[in-house]
Amino acid sequence: MQFVSSLLDIRSIDAEDARRRQLLNILLLGVAAIAVFALVAATLTILSSPQSEHGENLIMIGGSVFTLLGVGLLYLLNRRRAGWAAGALFLTLLTLVFAFADKPAEVAAGRSLFLFAIPILMASVLLFPAASFIAAVGAGIIVSVISVVSLDILPTMPAILGFFAVALVSWLSARSLQRALEDLRVTNRELDQRVIERTRDLAAALKRVQSESNKNQAILESIADGVIVFDHQGQAIVANPAITQFLNFPIEHIPGRDLSALMNGDVREADRNMMLGLLESDEPGRSGIKFDWGRKTVSVSVAAVRDGVGETTGTVMVMRDFTREAELDRMKSAFVSTASHELRTPLNAILGYSDMLQEGVYGELSDEQDGAIVRVVANTKRMLNLVNNLLDQAQIEAGQLKLRPSPVVIHELVDELEAIMGVLAEQKRLELVCSVDESAPDIVISDPQRLQQILVNLMGNAIKFTDTGSVRLRIYRTDAAHWALDVTDTGPGIPLEAQGFIFEAFRQVDDTVTRRHAGSGLGLSIVKQLVTLLGGEVSLISAVGRGSTFRIILPLTPIEEQHA
């Protein structure tokens, strides 16, 4: 097959020329095979028949030899020179062979007449579509000459008209084929161009991906925090060198292990279950989760990894060594707790002696002295409130705040609150409205001191930041298992960007040195932590210029005495 392909193959920059010359080679080889077969058959016939019958066979032998010589020359011309010249000579040779291969009568109007249709059909595909008409003219001339000169008769006009009919059909077919091939070549050129462009784009994209991958890898390896990525099955797939400060595995042994195996017994079971739950959770992410890992305290952040279409493909976990910060937090809490205790004693003494001075125990006071004592009491109470907040914050962070549940009568709670906050609201000329829905429970089991502290902080904040309008408290039941408190004001509202940190310790919306409203920034942080200890939730609904509503939802079921 390879030898035959090498015989037929034509090298040409013109695809159409190569196609025609290759087709001519196929025809030449076919004609050569027929000539060889005819030569062998005529020779065998001569050897086996009487001499009187050798005439036609000798003509066949001569025609076959002539055909083979012509085919050989045309083959060389077609491969090395012009294909159109070889095609034209081939058609001429074929037509002459048909003209002299039989008796004149058979050529002019007999059995050999149909053979002239063969070069007519071939002309349109070997040369060009209109060449079939030229071949039809040539065939008509040859038949006419043979009819008039050799037979002295008029040419057969139906046969000549038939030649032109064949030429017409061949021309139509060849032209359609040529147009189809041209369209196909155009399409192929466009496809080749698109392939080139796509290949170039793909190479550029791969280069960008490779560059981005190298950059991401460099960034990942340079991060001081430990980073590890898990797939959907919870198996580690990527990790950076910093993660080895927490794990007892070399970096190359981390991929393929799950989180439980990586913790390797260095983490308490409760913390391990919490982290495994976060990996399996559909929540968008958690940050700042702190727990002990061996001798270290770590801060862990977990987030989902998403692909280009938003589908979750895994989870990334970032671990930071929080040991030093945790120790400083414990030292700070211990210091604040000690300092608060030490400060509260002299402040209570100041209040006590101030009350005795106001009561005239040490004699009557002048108006100026009485005014000074009032200012001393007010500022001392403010200092005592700040110290109490600091002490509560320290106790909550240290886990030492004790809850003492007991029955709380809702209406009594509201009355005490109105008595405490009414004076402050009246001083700012604000309307104070406290309402209890019919659906609200009459008695709940909770810590009355902490419950009142929550409401005092919320309503105190509302009064402090509201200049005109009202402050409202509404108590109601949300469902069969919960009750709620809403504290609503008509103040300036809280910007959306501040609502994310409003419950953090020592943070205020107006967090500047020259802020208008004094305060420690602990009130809302303590509210949130106390509500959490009571088993509830606190939320904020606010918009700038539309006031704020703090909503607390608490369980109706009794809480047990506990420690935070």
Distance CA 414, CA 504 (A): 27
Is it the case that residue 561 has pLDDT exceeding 50?
A: no
Distance CA 32, CA 216 (A): 70
Non-local (6+) Cβ contacts of 197 within 8 A are none
User: Virtual CA dihedral for 106, 107, 109, 112, nearest 10 degrees?
Assistant: 80
508 within domain boundaries: yes
216 within domain boundaries: no
Q: 8 and 102: one domain?
A: yes
Distance CA 442, CA 413 (A): 11
- Looking at residue 285, the DSSP 8-state letter turns out to be E
Distance CA 529, CA 564 (A): 9
For residue 561, the number of C-alpha atoms closer than 13 Å in the C-beta half-sphere is: 3
Sheet of strand 226-230: strand arrangement? 236-239, 226-230, 312-321, 296-306, 285-293
Q: 164 and 49: one domain?
A: yes
pLDDT value of residue 378: 67
pLDDT value of residue 245: 77
Distance CA 401, CA 457 (A): 18
Q: 130 and 108: one domain?
A: yes
Instruction: Tell me the pLDDT tens digit for each residue of 188-210.
Output: 888 888 888 888 888 787 777 67
Looking up residue 468, the CATH number of its domain turns out to be 3.30.565.10
C-alpha dist (Å) from residue 350 to 229, 239, 341, 346, 379: 59, 60, 15, 6, 11
Q: 11 and 109: one domain?
A: yes
213 within domain boundaries: no
- List residues bridging with 408 in a β-sheet: 444
Q: 15 and 118: one domain?
A: yes
Please measure the distance between the N-terminal and C-terminal CA atoms of the chain and give it in whole angstroms.
90
pLDDT value of residue 220: 66
Domain carrying residue 458: 406-555
Residue ending a domain, choose from 295, 321, 347: 321
Q: 313 and 333: one domain?
A: no
Non-local (6+) Cβ contacts of 243 within 8 A are 226, 227, 228, 251, 254, 319
Angle between helices 117-126 and 15-48 (to 10 degrees): 150
Dihedral pair phi/psi, residue 38, rounded to 5°:
-65, -40
Per-residue pLDDT band at 564 (split at 50, 70, 90): very low
Residue ending a domain, choose from 321, 340, 366: 321
Looking up residue 314, the CATH number of its domain turns out to be 3.30.450.20
Question: pTM surpassing 0.85?
Answer: no
Task: Flag the least confident range among 82-86, 228-232, 474-478.
Answer: 82-86
209 within domain boundaries: no
Dihedral pair phi/psi, residue 230, rounded to 5°:
-115, 150
Dihedral pair phi/psi, residue 326, rounded to 5°:
-65, -40
Residue ending a domain, choose from 321, 339, 357: 321
467 within domain boundaries: yes
Average pLDDT of 546-550? 88
Number of domains comprising the chain: 4
Q: 130 and 44: one domain?
A: yes
- How many degrees, rounded to 5, is the angle at CA 444 between CA 442 and CA 446? 150
Q: Which residues of 518-554 are buried (b: 16+ CB within 10 A; e: fewer)?
A: ebbbbbbbbbbbbbebbebebeeebeeeebbbbbbbb
pLDDT value of residue 475: 92
Cα–chain center distance at 394 = 45
Instruction: Tell me the pLDDT tens digit for each residue of 498-528.
Output: 766 677 755 555 544 334 444 556 778 888 8
DSSP 331-392: HHHHHHHHHHHHHHHHHHHHHHHHHHHHTTTT----HHHHHHHHHHHHHHHHHHHHHHHHHH
Q: 114 and 40: one domain?
A: yes
Average pLDDT of 364-371? 78
196 within domain boundaries: no
Q: Which residues of 321-343 are buried (b: 16+ CB within 10 A; e: fewer)?
A: bbeeebeeeeeebeebbeebeeb
Is it the case that residue 336 has pLDDT exceeding 70?
A: no
Q: 87 and 166: one domain?
A: yes
- Looking at residue 147, the DSSP 8-state letter turns out to be I
Q: 425 and 393: one domain?
A: no
Helix/strand/coil for 287: strand
Q: 280 and 140: one domain?
A: no
Per-residue pLDDT band at 486 (split at 50, 70, 90): very high
Dihedral pair phi/psi, residue 430, rounded to 5°:
-105, 150
In SS3 terms, 326-340 reads as HHHHHHHHHHHHHHH
Average pLDDT of 200-223? 72
Per-residue pLDDT band at 474 (split at 50, 70, 90): very high
Q: 51 and 90: one domain?
A: yes
Check: CB of residue 300 under 8 Å from CB of residue 262: no
Q: Which two tokens stand for residue 308?
A: 């280009």
68 within domain boundaries: yes
